[in-house]
Chain A
Amino acid sequence: MKLKKLVGLSSALALSAMSLVAQEAKPVELKQQFEQLLLLQKQQAEQIESLKKQLEAIKGQPVTPGGKVTPPDVKIQDLERRVSELTNNWASKPWLVEQKWKPGDPIGLGRSGASYLNMSLIGLFTTGTSTANDIGALQPGGHDPNQRGFTVQNIETVFEGMVDPYFRGQANLIYGMDASGESLFELEEVYLETLSLPGNLQLKAGQFFTEFGRLNPSHPHSWSFVDQPLINNRMFGADGMRNPGARLSWLLPTPFYSEFFMTIQNSHGPNAYSFRGAGHAHGDEAEEGALVSTFRHPDNDRGVKTITDMLFTPRLVTSFELTDSQTVLMGVSAAFGPNNSGEENFASKTVTQIVGADFTWKWKPTNHTKGFPFVTWKTEAMLRKNQVGAFDWSSEEDEDDNGKFDAGVLVDTMNNGTKFAAVMAAETLTDYGAYTEFLYGFRPGWVAGIRYDWVGGKRGAYEKRGLLKADNETDNQSLTEEAGPDHSRGDRWRLSPNITWYPSEFSKIRLQYNYDDRKHIGHDHSIWLQFEFLLGSHGAHKF
């Protein structure tokens, strides 16, 4: 009974000490009271220990000579109850936890989701070599390795947090370095996202990656390969499709997950590559600007006159579990918008349409450790119909070394004076491609992967004119079989096995081999070693 009193007294003391702390905050008193608390804690611990010792002493006795265990004594139970109550009491008094400043508040460097601003810095580098002499065209992605030796692929700073009760904000600012060593800055993504619109809607607005397929909206650091799939480069250019705009998404009231996204963005600028955006890119492949100009002058500056001058991207995605360990995600996307090939004085506006389908399957057993083992199979396919307008070279004032224009006739001085009709007819160009990749996480931290890339296109009438022949300095084989194919749209495939080691969630080392086969150019071997680190808060991974 003495004990009971003691416990009661000590708790009362503790409580009164706490209320004192709350009232007065003089440092000396605080310190004294804290010491008192610690003392109390110590006393209580000693009490528990002594109680437990008593218990053990009692428990040591109960075996009777007959070998039978005596029924538990009421007294023992009482004692035990008090022991557990004491331990219980301790844990349920959160005020006993020291309230210290933690590096997590209010600017988060160590975690995410609970502070004003979470910050992180990601560094992504590669080193390696290739048999190709035109690495810029071989590795057309803006964050691909761009030369023999070392490449700074992507230095990404991320700022993320809750803006207010209505919005979440995020900014991904990218630093890079081109092959010549010149530093680059990219406003990759800066957007806000609503938190609780009614009707299961969500609005995103700002500058952001277009919701098309699986890879386009993701950042290079989350990719499973050193480089961007070829089809993404063909369709969306070196840096992916992203532009200022807004996206509304609706969580459909289906029993399984399905979501519909509608994105409206500006259709001009280098990041609307298939639309009004040709002319700029990191690699040679895109720099030729042949995609939409196709020997027509690009018309990037006509501005926005009607809503059809904007870029529209609808996407529907659905996901469900086949079993506890297998998840499937399927999506269809499309992008519609004007392109820059049709000159205003030449009839109607020309448009580009891209459609895509994607499929992801993941197996991860329910007894995984650290997320391993797993197998992921991901495939994306895309098709583009690209209208190019009619164009009359004889209307051009400009003359350069490549040819001169005479009353409806173009003379190619670089090519034995071959003559062509100066008017190029309107046509629709078709390009397509796909990639499929397998990833196998075979033991904690280790992932083996293989990706197959394939891109191609139907030859356009403009290619058959032979105009491209003179431009192809990179050719290393004869062009006798076909006149002047446009290499930026030519057939190509690539096989990329790789292996990645994640020493922790905050770093990775990846070795990748690429076998490239480009029609009319030849095949090449490349080997790249990628390394990455992450400082600061680690954002969660999406599926």
Chain B
Amino acid sequence: MKNLFSLLAALGLLTGVAHAKLNVVATLPDFASLAEDIGGDKVKVISLTKGTEDPHFVDAKPSFIRVLNQADVLLEGGAELELGWLPPLVQNARNPRILPNAPGHIVLAHGLKLLEIPTQLDRSQGDVHAAGNPHFNLGPANFKPMAEIIAATFARLDPANAAYYAANLKRFSERLTDKLIEWEKLAAPLRGVKVITYHKSFEYLAATYGFNIVGQIEPKPGIEPTATHINALIPNAKAAGVKLVMMEPNRARKTPQFVADSIGAKLVICPILVGGSPEAKNCCDLIDCNLRALVKALQN
């Protein structure tokens, strides 16, 4: 009996050790990057999506159930971005800590001002998301509120290290402020530039740095390009004086290249997630590398 108790105590200790670090599961590498910035060595962070993937269409791999079963925190973007794969995984994870609306389940979109909230929902208009454009991870203005939400969550779930998270948040905010200034300068030539994008992935970046998105290669969100649409797009873009065509790295380049060539614009490949290109190692690098690519294309 005594042995059994000591065994149980040892087990308890072991699990205690295992829980010393907060287990954080992020749906996107961008949220994982922020969680690492705030959590430092007090957290263990896993991203379910790879930076090169299309975040709308991730496979609900059963191994994710295992990962979610162990999670203390789930950081989800929300705004229907992960709708196609996350809900059954969360339901099957048997983990009350991360069930919808539990303290450990954080929907980052809830604290942000999203763009393009539709006034009416109609699927004949393509894949329109009811809560607004979900690609807010490309909006530098969203980094601070997201980091704040994450820091508050970590502090609530791990109060012993609250001061540590607060200090990391402060450090992150300071670095971000410097970055914001740097980007403001870097992106100055982009102001007022007319661009076309493939999918509506870059609205937040455009809103922050003042370039105008005048059209999409996709006729409607999530709908593959058609010849009719492209034939109408080219003269319109030409008339508008479009200088750049932006696209995500994982799409077929033939059509966007054709459009860019036809209107005399430059095709720029812009990663939309952290890890989408080798340089985009964290949220700030992602903005860095996109702005640099755009400015470079504009100047050449």
Q: How would residues 219 to 261 of chain B score, 1 for a CB under 8 Å from any chain A CB and 0 otherwise?
A: 0001110000000000000000000000011111000000000
Are A91 and B181 also in contact (CB < 8 A) when A367-B52, A369-B248 are?
A: no
- Cβ of A193 < 8 Å from any Cβ of B? yes
Q: A256 vs B61: C-alpha distance in the bound complex, in angstroms?
A: 11
Q: Are A81 and B222 in contact (CB under 8 A)?
A: no
Q: A541 vs B87: C-alpha distance in the bound complex, in angstroms?
A: 9
Q: List residues of chain A with CB within 8 A of the CB of B184.
A: 55, 80, 83-84
Q: Are A92 and B50 in contact (CB under 8 A)?
A: no
Q: Are A202 and B141 in contact (CB under 8 A)?
A: no
Q: A476 vs B181: C-alpha distance in the bound complex, in angstroms?
A: 83
Q: Are A113 and B87 in contact (CB under 8 A)?
A: yes
Q: List residues of chain A with CB within 8 A of the CB of B57.
A: 368-371
Q: A370 vs B251: C-alpha distance in the bound complex, in angstroms?
A: 9
Q: Are B112 and A94 in contact (CB under 8 A)?
A: yes
Q: Are A542 and B83 in contact (CB under 8 A)?
A: no
- Cβ of A401 < 8 Å from any Cβ of B? no
Q: List residues of chain A with CB within 8 A of the CB of B188.
A: 55-56, 59
Q: List residues of chain A with CB within 8 A of the CB of B142.
A: 91
Q: List residues of chain A with CB within 8 A of the CB of B85.
A: 540-541
Q: List residues of chain A with CB within 8 A of the CB of B139.
A: 91
Q: A98 vs B114: C-alpha distance in the bound complex, in angstroms?
A: 11
Q: Are A110 and B63 in contact (CB under 8 A)?
A: no
Q: Are B66 and A540 in contact (CB under 8 A)?
A: no
Shortest Cβ distance from residue A374 to the other chain B in the assembled complex, whole angstroms: 8
- Cβ of B53 < 8 Å from any Cβ of A? yes
Q: List residues of chain A with CB within 8 A of the CB of B250.
A: 367-369
Shortest Cβ distance from residue B11 to the other chain A in the assembled complex, whole angstroms: 12
Partner of A319, one of B61, B113, B127, B208: B61
Q: List residues of chain A with CB within 8 A of the CB of B130.
A: 102-104, 110-111
Q: Are B91 and A543 in contact (CB under 8 A)?
A: no
Q: Are A196 and B95 in contact (CB under 8 A)?
A: yes
Are A92 and B111 also in contact (CB < 8 A) when A366-B50, A540-B87 are?
A: yes
Q: Are B141 and A195 in contact (CB under 8 A)?
A: no
- Cβ of A68 < 8 Å from any Cβ of B? no
Residue of B nearest to A193 (CB): B91
Q: Are B123 and A506 in contact (CB under 8 A)?
A: yes
Are A540 and B50 also in contact (CB < 8 A) when A104-B130, A257-B63, A319-B61 are?
A: no
- Cβ of A251 < 8 Å from any Cβ of B? yes
Q: List residues of chain A with CB within 8 A of the CB of B99.
A: 195-196
Q: A444 vs B30: C-alpha distance in the bound complex, in angstroms?
A: 25
Which DSSP category, helix, strand, loop or mixed, fits chain B's interface? Answer: loop
- Cβ of A96 < 8 Å from any Cβ of B? yes
- Cβ of A216 < 8 Å from any Cβ of B? no
Q: List residues of chain B with CB within 8 A of the CB of A88.
A: 141, 144-145, 180
Q: List residues of chain A with CB within 8 A of the CB of B88.
A: 539-540, 542
Q: A114 vs B94: C-alpha distance in the bound complex, in angstroms?
A: 18
Residue of A nearest to B85 (CB): A540
Interface size class, chain A = 35 or more
Q: Are A168 and B91 in contact (CB under 8 A)?
A: yes
Residue of B nearest to A56 (CB): B188
Q: Are B54 and A84 in contact (CB under 8 A)?
A: no
Q: List residues of chain B with CB within 8 A of the CB of A91.
A: 112-113, 139, 141-142, 144-145
Q: How would residues 106 to 122 of chain B score, 1 for a CB under 8 Å from any chain A CB and 0 otherwise?
A: 00001111100100010
178-228 of chain B: CB within 8 A of chain A: 180-181, 184-185, 188, 191, 208, 210, 222-224
Q: A52 vs B209: C-alpha distance in the bound complex, in angstroms?
A: 11
296-331 of chain A: CB within 8 A of chain B: 317, 319-321, 324, 327, 329
Q: A110 vs B185: C-alpha distance in the bound complex, in angstroms?
A: 41
Residue of B nearest to A252 (CB): B66
Residue of B nearest to A96 (CB): B113
Are A196 and B59 also in contact (CB < 8 A) when A83-B184, A92-B145 are?
A: no
Are A94 and B110 also in contact (CB < 8 A) when A367-B52, A370-B222 are?
A: yes
Are A505 and B84 also in contact (CB < 8 A) when A84-B177, A369-B248 are?
A: yes
- Cβ of A407 < 8 Å from any Cβ of B? no
Q: How would residues 75 to 117 of chain B score, 1 for a CB under 8 Å from any chain A CB and 0 otherwise?
A: 0000010011111100110111001100000000011111001
Q: A139 vs B132: C-alpha distance in the bound complex, in angstroms?
A: 45
Are A87 and B94 also in contact (CB < 8 A) when A319-B61, A362-B59, A445-B224 are?
A: no
Q: List residues of chain A with CB within 8 A of the CB of B210.
A: 52
- Cβ of B8 < 8 Å from any Cβ of A? no
Interface centre among A59, A196, A327 (most CB of B within 10 A): A196
Q: List residues of chain B with CB within 8 A of the CB of A370.
A: 54, 56-57, 222
- Cβ of B60 < 8 Å from any Cβ of A? yes
- Cβ of B148 < 8 Å from any Cβ of A? yes
Q: List residues of chain B with CB within 8 A of the CB of A367.
A: 52-53, 249-250
Q: A443 vs B251: C-alpha distance in the bound complex, in angstroms?
A: 10
Are A110 and B121 also in contact (CB < 8 A) when A94-B110, A251-B94 are?
A: yes
Are A93 and B113 also in contact (CB < 8 A) when A257-B63, A368-B53 are?
A: yes
92-109 of chain A: CB within 8 A of chain B: 92-94, 96-98, 102-104
Residue of A nearest to B184 (CB): A80
Q: List residues of chain B with CB within 8 A of the CB of A518.
A: none
Q: A91 vs B54: C-alpha distance in the bound complex, in angstroms?
A: 25
Shortest Cβ distance from residue B7 to the other chain A in the assembled complex, whole angstroms: 16
Are A366 and B52 also in contact (CB < 8 A) when A92-B144, A202-B92, A444-B224 are?
A: yes
Q: How would residues 58 to 77 of chain A score, 1 for a CB under 8 Å from any chain B CB and 0 otherwise?
A: 01000000000000000001
- Cβ of B62 < 8 Å from any Cβ of A? yes
- Cβ of B69 < 8 Å from any Cβ of A? yes
Q: Are A321 and B61 in contact (CB under 8 A)?
A: yes
Q: List residues of chain A with CB within 8 A of the CB of B252.
A: 369, 443
Q: A468 vs B96: C-alpha distance in the bound complex, in angstroms?
A: 58
Are A257 and B100 also in contact (CB < 8 A) when A97-B113, A112-B83 are?
A: no
Q: List residues of chain B with CB within 8 A of the CB of A257.
A: 62-63, 65-66
Shortest Cβ distance from residue B187 to the other chain A in the assembled complex, whole angstroms: 11
Shortest Cβ distance from residue B145 to the other chain A in the assembled complex, whole angstroms: 4
Shortest Cβ distance from residue B253 to the other chain A in the assembled complex, whole angstroms: 11
Q: Are B61 and A114 in contact (CB under 8 A)?
A: no
Shortest Cβ distance from residue B226 to the other chain A in the assembled complex, whole angstroms: 11
Interface centre among A84, A85, A364, A503 (most CB of B within 10 A): A84
Shortest Cβ distance from residue B60 to the other chain A in the assembled complex, whole angstroms: 5
- Cβ of A201 < 8 Å from any Cβ of B? yes
- Cβ of A200 < 8 Å from any Cβ of B? yes
Shortest Cβ distance from residue B269 to the other chain A in the assembled complex, whole angstroms: 12
Partner of A543, one of B60, B141, B148: B60
Q: A445 vs B111: C-alpha distance in the bound complex, in angstroms?
A: 34
Partner of A197, one of B65, B94, B121, B123: B94
- Cβ of A504 < 8 Å from any Cβ of B? yes
27 of the cross-chain contacts (CB-CB < 8 Å) are A80-B180, A80-B184, A87-B180, A87-B208, A91-B141, A92-B148, A94-B110, A97-B114, A98-B117, A111-B83, A112-B83, A195-B96, A196-B95, A196-B96, A200-B94, A251-B92, A317-B62, A321-B61, A329-B62, A368-B54, A370-B56, A445-B224, A504-B126, A504-B223, A539-B88, A540-B86, A541-B85
A contact set with B: CB distance below 8 Å: 52, 55-56, 59, 77, 80-81, 83-85, 87-88, 90-94, 96-98, 102-104, 110-114, 162, 168, 193, 195-197, 200-202, 251, 255-257, 259, 317, 319-321, 324, 327, 329, 362, 364, 366-371, 443-445, 503-506, 538-543
Contacts beyond the supplied A80-B180, A91-B139, A541-B60: 6 A-B pairs with Cβ under 8 Å: A111-B80, A113-B87, A200-B94, A251-B69, A444-B224, A540-B83
Q: Which 7 A-B pairs have the closest CB atoms?
A: A371-B57, A196-B96, A84-B180, A319-B62, A92-B145, A367-B52, A257-B62
